Chain A
Amino acid sequence: MEEDAILQIRHLSKSFGKQEVLRDIDFTVSTGDVISIIGASGSGKSTLLRCINLLETPDRGEILFHGRNVAGKGTNQPAYRARVGMVFQSFNLFNNMTVLENCMIGQVKVLHRSREEAREQAMSFLGKVGMAPYINARPRQISGGQKQRVAIARALAMNPEVLLFDEPTSALDPEMVGEVLAVMRKIAADGMTMLVVTHEMAFARDVSHRVVYMADGVICEQGTPEQIFTAPTQERTREFLSRFHADR
């Protein structure tokens, strides 16, 4: 199991000023894993994801990418980020480009693919997320759900080894959540390694192989969805999940 680990997080800690956001986080992501990270707002889920992508610099601990620590000095951050995709809560599509250009720019500038190759690749992923008809649209002209689907296609077009989702449906109207989750299910079924911070418990339960419950900057409990959702060992996990079970 250890050798096909893509990411190993070891003793990761992060503070903002005096506020300790992450404390001694430890976990491993292996090829093909779909891991959901759940927990209350402010529990450090997003910060963890942002640390993994080095958008935040961890204070202590290691992030081993294929066994090599990327959290220290001397890491080629852009090269690392090109292999670790990220989908944001607020989409972050480039407003000065069309949908197609959004999905091509990274391939051309970072991976140095030819424009033809980049377009072909972008078109195939835009087709996969159902956004192919909108390639000439600009981000301000499409809906939130459509933006997020383009953002997913943009990340996929880089052929990342692992894809990080930072609350991908939290900024969406309820009727748009479904289309984004459907796309994510499809990608998971294709075998993409995914790390998903989410409040969508149904997605966490049905799609992920492993669920990580975070509270107050630590991993409180992790296990298979069955374990976490039907027989949580920790009181805090039970309490957190009871709020979601109530409306079912």
Chain B
Amino acid sequence: MSRFAQLGADIAKLWTKYGSAYISGMENTLILALVGTVIGCLIGFLCGVLNTIPCGKNDPPVKRFFLGLLRVIIRIYVEVFRGTPMVLQAVFLYYGLPYFTNNSVKFTSVWVAAIVVVSINTGAYMAESVRGGIISIDPGQTEGAKAIGMTHVQTMTSVILPQALRNIMPQIGNNFIINVKDTSVMFIIGFPEFFSAHRATVGASYLYFPSATVEMAGYLTMTLLASFLLRWAERKLDGSSSYELVQTDQLTMTAGTYSYPEQGTPFDERSKEFSGSAAGKET
């Protein structure tokens, strides 16, 4: 029991002295993970879409050649960045660029370097997830879109990707949570994230275990928060589980309300007008 008391005291000591370092480390970690995941998703979506451009044997040879080349390039990108540790990718990019270009090309900001590394790493994972998400959508959806005259790009942006996005939300969540934790390797290029706060703190205080406890609790808090937000976002994407039947004179009754199903029609119990009039009757 006394050990726990000791731990509590040590943590309190750490927190009063280095609390701001931990907090700013957490902020940086979250920003890096979030920006990296978002850009990574965009890269992944781009690769996934390029990878699924339909290409039959009736297409002109030039198109087929370029699509084939594109697929090979994406394949190499995915395999290389998925198959090497992020910590080494960071070192490679951050120190490799100046090395090869005699210092003429280098990252001026450790932020840029860290975001680039996390983004392309996430992108490599997301490329495959997005491809999976796209091919999981019923081909009938594509046919339905084509049949009303939509182009490939319109079909993708209006019909397929929104559904694929919903299907790969759990994967995006996974990637975000992995990024929150794995950005801890960015201390290698001197990025001031949460784990580097630990390294700085123990360097000064030698309180290894208490600081590690703070780190553990901190990371768990961040990932739990992320899980919670992701679940909420998924429910949001699913839309309302019920719908309002519209009265007979639809054109006037629903004008402007159809895109906000949660607001309902002016005559259902959820709308302000309804509760207003109901309250009026009671009094």
Contacts and interface: CB of A to CB of B under 8 A. Distances in A.
A106 B159 CA distance: 11
Given A82-B149, A132-B246, A132-B250, A94 B144 contact: yes
Given A110-B148, A136-B244, A138-B239, A92 B140 contact: yes
B20 interface: no
Given A95-B163, A96-B162, A133-B250, A85 B147 contact: yes
Interface in B139-183: 140-141, 143-151, 154, 158-159, 162-163, 166
Contacts of A127: 250
B246 A55 contact: no
Given A100-B258, A109-B150, A123-B251, A92 B144 contact: yes
B148 A96 contact: no
B190 interface: no
A55 B141 contact: no
B258 A136 contact: yes
A90 B245 CA distance: 24
Contact of B243 (A94, A141, A154): A141
A82 B250 CA distance: 27
B68 interface: no
A78 B145 CA distance: 10
A158 B243 contact: no
Given A90-B140, A100-B258, A136 B246 contact: yes
Given A96-B163, A120-B251, A136 B147 contact: no
B7 to A, nearest CB: 50
Contact of A57 (B58, B143, B158): B58
B246 A133 contact: yes
Contact of B150 (A101, A106, A120, A136): A106
Contacts, number: 105
Query: Counting chain B CB atoms within 10 Å of each CB, which of A94, A96, A101 scores highest?
Result: A96
Contacts of B89: none
B248 interface: yes
A92 B140 CA distance: 5
Contacts of B8: none
A92 B148 CA distance: 11
A66 to B, nearest CB: 16
Interface residues of A, number: 45
A119 B244 CA distance: 18
Contacts of A151: 144
A85 B258 contact: no
A93 interface: yes
A134 interface: yes
Given A79-B149, A135-B254, A138-B239, A88 B261 contact: no
A155 interface: yes
Nearest to A95: B163
Contacts of A94: 141, 144-145, 158-159
A87 B247 CA distance: 27
Nearest to B157: A109
Interface string A148-185: 00010011001000000000000000000000000000
B146 A135 contact: no
A133 B159 CA distance: 24
A100 B158 CA distance: 15
Query: Counting chain A CB atoms within 10 Å of each CB, which of B147, B150, B151, B248 scores highest?
Result: B147
A78 B143 CA distance: 11
In the A-B complex, the 6 residue pairs with the smallest Cβ-Cβ separation, listed nearest first, are: A82-B149, A92-B144, A106-B148, A86-B147, A92-B140, A137-B243
Interface of B: 56, 58, 138, 140-141, 143-151, 154, 158-159, 162-163, 166, 239, 242-248, 250-251, 254, 258, 261
Given A96-B163, A106-B149, 13 more contacts: A81-B148, A85-B147, A88-B147, A91-B140, A101-B258, A105-B158, A110-B154, A120-B251, A123-B251, A127-B250, A133-B245, A135-B250, A136-B243
10 contacts: A55-B146, A78-B146, A81-B149, A91-B140, A98-B258, A106-B148, A134-B245, A136-B244, A136-B254, A158-B148
